Structure 1
């Protein structure tokens, strides 16, 4: 593997945003995904889930900055872990040939139509709202969750508390995993519900979950909030539910007519529908943002991007000439968005849709390759090109500059950024 011009510390070398004035990440001493000024809202995770030790687990070492890594997985299931700070690389055990990969910033959940293999990078950030703790531990392979159909995986805010939802569409099995056990290398299913087979989801909510419910035709009609025993405690209409993300304020699930914002505290839940404006563009069916941020980007069939502000409980539509292949919200007040255009270029837009900066085309067949993914953190964006196996690192606050082109030992047909 080439040196890739790796610096001793990525965050130490970052300068404040330049002439473009994109003060997206700020220039504080902390390199974390820190809250914007005034962001002191309660986490979407129950306060009971935060626990003592601020995310520490036995065998982990606290780090002075986010221990950012890339998990690369090729089409055959080979896996490697690349340290983005010092360039060292570790080969991990093979997993199943992936059809989809999901990450919460620590784990990579590798799914095919028979189950999900879990890769633990051993790198994570504990978000304590007003401050952060960073941890490094040895990578591990906790094991497998069995089921039928390519699973939809829904993650929470914290890698060592709360839960992770795994929904198998062909068998209709809705599984909730215990993150505290997972952080110790154990797969503990705290819930496995048998529901009607459909393209649904189960998302962690407090000590329970939010689960889709379908009719006899497999069409989703509502969301059920269930407690730790799987008993229904609340419900709300949500036709054609699709797409979910957890912010500091709420769990988000997309519906045909808007989105449900769900919170849980002290055993009670609150389910709120945020409806689309009148004469709205097609609904968002997938959501992405810098981890934890209250504003998230939504993509559907429309030529543009939705922005959902979970703090203000409001939508805004950004019309574009075409639908981007991917989009992620990266901050709140300025509402900047990083998108992957269909020509393979990465573009930075403001809330009105004006292009602030763009790269040259970097990704082959960006609009037709489901393996391509875009991830953003407080300072950089990452996008893979499965045609070449590389991952491009883009400084989106510095004119969308391509900071590095990373060449993992294992081709990045799929990838996840961890440690964030």
Structure 2
């Protein structure tokens, strides 16, 4: 059962919420061409019965339905905060939650007993020349019994969950706790390297005698080809508009192409990099081609996928990092609780803002989530989230007071 209440907010933007909602019309489904059916669409619909883009049980809206999924690491309580209405919906508990990731709609909470999945109820389907925005009631889904830690990567049809035992399970979307078409598929590779769905294929790194080859498999897990370039010690992985990116021991491997015809390009660090300073996780705005990653304890990497270039920024001790993409600053949250902005090209610091009063525990759970205009920084010690306008000198646009500790945070809806 879910419960909903409205949060208290502080800041100028909060005073305009009611007016903005009154002026925003939640439109009927937008008429559009014959683009592919988006994930979640009822495929039994006929053109005469339901408009293109219809999703059963959801309402199409005229604007993105941005939401934050928040988990309290102490109590295990999970909530969804609607950033448009200010409502908070409780969706149950994930006892012992250790980490959380998201894919734009679903949040995946890693617990000792497996993977808890929460449907945030806000998402966007991108058709290239137009988009559909949807809202529905947040809810918890059935758990996935995969041993932690978990590496999770998704595309429009498949969620790949890699567990500690080296097994990757392929689950169907839009409900990523159900079996993939034809039954649940599993890859038992004996390595925890991330499996990445991309362009109708699966990128499977960490294979071969040296554990450094990248296989391309179809959705039945049959090997189609092996990429020419190698990726030793694969750890980080993500997908951008310009291709999938794998983090390797000597840099990155960018995989791109269409219709299953994929090619790979190496982007080396360009300098000797110790194992502890390699990129092991990419953070970025979904789809954007500028990626960030922590480099050891006191620096961050910036990877420009378009230019195929790494930049190292010496930030001092850093707890979390992110960026909204080209033309926007790199946002680094220090272990001192100060958020700092850096020019991604020069590494010059351009702004700073003290945020967290009790940063002592920030290193393990700190999050900087970004969309095209705002950043969200969780403040577990203050039971709140800070909404930051990173285009205006890191101005605090809103303080979202919660009444519980937001130990973990992901943004959805865009």
* TM-score, normalised via structure 1 length: 0.81
Q: Structure 1 residues 168 and 409 mapped into 2: Cα distance closer, same or farther (>3 Å)?
A: same
Question: What's the counterpart of residue 329 of structure 1?
Answer: 323
Query: Is the CA contact (8 Å cut-off) linking 2:384 and 2:405 kept in structure 1?
Result: yes
Paired with 2:207 and 2:169, the residues of 1 have a C-alpha distance of: 17
Residue 2 and residue 283 in structure 1: after superposition, are their counterparts in 2 closer, same or farther (change >3 A)?
closer
The reply on whether 1:301 has 2:296 as its aligned counterpart is yes
Following TM superposition, by how much is the alpha carbon of 1:56 offset from its aligned partner in structure 2, in angstroms?
4.5
Deviation by residue 1:27-84 (Cα, 9 ceiling, x = unmatched): xx9xxxxxxxxxxxxxxxxx97867888652121111211111212112321122211
The within-5 A match list for 1:94-109 is: 94-109=93-108
Counterpart position of 1:155: 154
Aligned residue in 1 for 2:31: none
Is the Cα contact below 8 Å between 2:234 and 2:249 reproduced in 1? yes
Aligned in 2, Cα 1:149/1:87: closer, same or farther, shift over 3 Å?
Answer: closer
Runs of 5+ unmatched residues, structure 1: 14-28, 30-46
Residue deviations 1:167-192, cap 9 Å, x none? 101x211122222344xx84546531
Please report how far the alpha carbon of residue 131 of structure 1 lies from its aligned counterpart in structure 2 after TM superposition.
Answer: 3.5
Q: C-alpha distance in 1, partners of 2:220/2:36?
A: 17
Greater relative contact order structure (CA < 8 Å, 6+ sep): 1
Matched, 1:380 2:392: no
Q: Is the counterpart of residue 68 in structure 1 residue 66 in structure 2? A: yes
Partner of residue 252 from structure 1, selected from 235, 245, 248: 245
The answer to whether residue 337 in structure 2 is matched with residue 344 in structure 1 is: yes
Answer yes or no: is 1:210 the counterpart of 2:203.
yes
- Could you report, residue by residue, the CA deviation over 1:317-367 in whole angstroms, capped at 9, with x for unpaired residues? 33x1525222112231x3521111221111121121222221114263367
Alignment of 1:41-190 (within 5 A): 56-75=54-73, 76-156=75-155, 161-169=156-164, 171-182=165-176, 186=178, 188=180, 190=184
* Cα deviations by residue, 1:120-163 (Å, 9 ceiling, x for unpaired): 0110122334443211012222212112232111234xxxx232
CA contact (8 A) 1:8 1:85 kept: no
Equivalent residue, structure 1, for 2:384: 390
* Root mean square deviation of aligned Cα: 2.9
Matched, 1:229 2:197: no
3-state SS, counterpart of residue 377 of structure 2: strand
- Name the residue aligned to 1:265: 258
Inter-CA distance 221–364: structure 2 relative to 1 (3 Å threshold): farther
Counterpart-to-counterpart distance in 2, 1:317 and 1:10: 43
Question: What secondary structure is seen at the aligned counterpart in 2 of 1:133?
Answer: strand
Question: How much has 1:101 moved relative to structure 2?
Answer: 0.4
Shift of 1:294: 1.3
Q: Is the contact made by 1:343 and 1:361 (CA closer than 8 Å) also made in structure 2? A: no
Q: Relative to 1, partners in 2 of residues 1:323 and 1:119: Cα closer, same or farther, differing over 3 Å?
A: same
Aligned partner of residue 322 in structure 2, secondary structure: strand
SS at match of 1:387: helix
Distance, in Å, in 1 between the alignment partners of 2:303 and 2:295 is 13
Q: TM-score, normalised by structure 2?
A: 0.82
Distance 1:54 1:416, change over 3 A: farther
1:210-264 residue CA offsets vs partner (Å, 9 max, x unmatched): 2232689xx9533322211112222442111111121111111100111111235
State how far apart, in whole Å, the 2-side matches of 1:215 and 1:128 are: 36
CA contact (8 A) 1:347 1:355 kept: yes
Q: Structure 1 pair 287/59, CA: closer, same or farther in 2 (3 Å)?
A: same
State the 1:267 CA deviation: 2.9
Q: Is the 8 A contact 2:8 2:402 kept in 1?
A: no
Higher Cα Rg, which structure = 2
Question: How many residues were matched structurally?
Answer: 376
Structure 2: stretches of 5+ with no match in the other structure: 1-5, 25-34, 42-50
